Amino acid sequence: MGSDYKKLVPSIFLKDGVGVKWFGSSEIVTGDPVYLASNYANYGADSILVFDFSDDDEGHERNLSVIKRICAAVDIPVVGAGNVKKLEDVKKLLYSGCKTACLNYSKEDNMKLTEEAGKRFGRDHIAAAVASVDELRAAQNDIKNYVSLLVLVNEEALDECAHWVQEACNNNANPISVKLLPVFQNKSFHEAAAVLRSYEVQGVSGGEINVNFKDFMRFKRQCKGLGVSMNTYESSMEWSEFKLNSDGMLPVIVQDYKTDEVLMMAYMNEEAFQKTLETGIMHYYSRSRSELWQKGETSGHFQYVKSLTADCDKDTLLSKVLQIGAACHTGARSCFFNNIMKKEYDDHNPLKVFEQEYRVIQDRKEHPKAGSYTNYLFDKGIDKILKKVGEECTEIIIAAKNPNPEELKYEMADWLYHAMVLMVEKGVTWDEITKEVVQR
């Protein structure tokens, strides 16, 4: 889970595809766990802990589908836990996009699974849910070698377990490198801050944290005031270092953090700058209304900050954001849509080309077109698609033996098309694949 910061890790408890209040509870707290997870990520969570509390295989598959969509929707690490019975279940969690899969140490079979899972996927991707110090003692050798995170699901055992972990980590003869993450049912932000200050733990989860996500950044700043290292929005420059325009304002150019699309341009005064840092949501100063405004406050089209960068003269700010909805007041995605002139040039972005082609193939599947080769493949089914992917792989190998690379380029393009047909057929996106590449 990275860095030396103490982590804010809200938890989501899944049962039959919805979020429930706690272990064993049937009280629904959200019918849309993916939307909740997105809010957690946007408002400052450092990671998300997701438990699968399904009672049967059907519920398990439904929850796995939700976990997969959560992992696709957020850009912070997800720890997946619950319903792990064999190595295949660990693989399913990791392949769904979870950074870490969690074993349940109240089940002896899960303890026995630790070595195999750790060797297969690496200790950084394996966690263990524990409820007592006895479970830690019983599995201490496996914890030392194959586990990177201990998720404590019994807050009454915090003193004993935290002491055991600290002692084990500081054991000069046989140290264990592992972090403890307690999950609370009812603790307030104030009590959670006290835990972060008093114990050597990775972070905190549960309790009021699961409810009041809009207070995440305030909680983090309060923790920093208590001497607890938290990941907050801190500026490396003072406002006085910027060169302001004649109105005392700082121009801000706003880009989409993934595509680099220029979305809008606005102005900040010092209050807007500080509010942006405090909340993680873009704030500006309206020169026409002479007032501070938060982007999205009335429209819901919020801009969640990913980075702020000053230009060489320190008189302009570049903000990269996660844009919700439209950036422009007209309803357009970007304010820059009035074409004045354009010289003809090749502006093909490689990833955009793949995404556009993927969308065309996806559209063919959803809206079949007579005579379409793509629809022919979908109609024939998975076996035909796999046969074509295999044939194109062979063509690539043959082409690669040719000293002229032109044939290889042609065959690679052919294979990529058929691979995208397979992706659409199986519901795999480019975003998921690129995330997996980065994670590796």
Q: What is the DSSP string of 224-265?
A: HHTT--B-----SS-GGGS---TTS-EEEEEEETTT--EEEE
Q: Between the CA of residue 197 and those of 58, 132, 284, 381, what are the distances in Å? A: 42, 22, 35, 57
Q: Which residues partner with 28 through β-bridges? A: 20
Question: Which pLDDT belongs to residue 3?
Answer: 58
What value does the CA radius of gyration of the chain take, rounded to a whole number of Å?
25
The pLDDT of residue 347 is 65
- How many helices and strands (H and E) does the chain possess? 15, 17
User: For domain 7-225, is the CATH number 3.40.390.10?
Assistant: no
Which of 3.40.50.720, 3.90.1170.50, 3.10.20.810, 3.40.1190.20 is the CATH number of 239-323? 3.10.20.810
Domain boundaries, the chain: 7-225, 239-323, 350-439
Q: What is the pLDDT along the chain (440 residues), one digit of tens a residue?
A: 445 799 999 999 999 899 999 888 889 999 999 999 999 999 999 999 999 998 888 889 999 999 999 999 999 999 999 889 999 999 999 988 999 999 999 998 999 999 999 999 999 999 999 999 999 999 999 999 999 999 999 999 999 999 999 999 988 788 888 999 999 998 999 999 999 999 999 999 999 999 999 999 999 999 999 999 999 998 999 999 999 999 999 999 999 998 889 999 999 999 999 999 999 999 999 998 999 999 999 999 999 999 999 999 999 999 999 999 999 999 999 999 998 877 776 667 777 788 889 999 999 999 999 889 999 999 999 999 999 999 999 999 999 998 888 889 889 999 999 999 999 999 988 888 887 777 66
**One-character DSSP codes across 30-58:** ES-HHHHHHHHHHTT-S-EEEEE--SSHH
- Quick one: CA dihedral 417, 422, 424, 425, positive or negative? positive
As beta bridge partners, residue 205 has 183
Q: Which of 53, 221, 216, 57 is nearest to 129 (CA)?
A: 53
| Cα(282)–Cα(279) distance, integer angstroms | 8
* Nearest residue to 263 (alpha-carbon basis) of 313, 301, 316, 310: 301
Tokens of 252: 């801000």
Residue 1 pLDDT:
43
H-type alpha helices, 367-404: 373-380, 382-400
Q: Is 7-225's fold the same as 350-439's?
A: no
Structure tokens at 177: 């490198």
User: What is the predicted pLDDT for the residue at 2?
Assistant: 45
Q: How many CA atoms lie within 13 A of 18 on its CB side?
A: 9
CATH, range 350-439 = 1.10.287.1080
Give the C-alpha distances (Å, rounded to integers) separating 189 from 50, 273, 333, 345: 20, 26, 37, 55
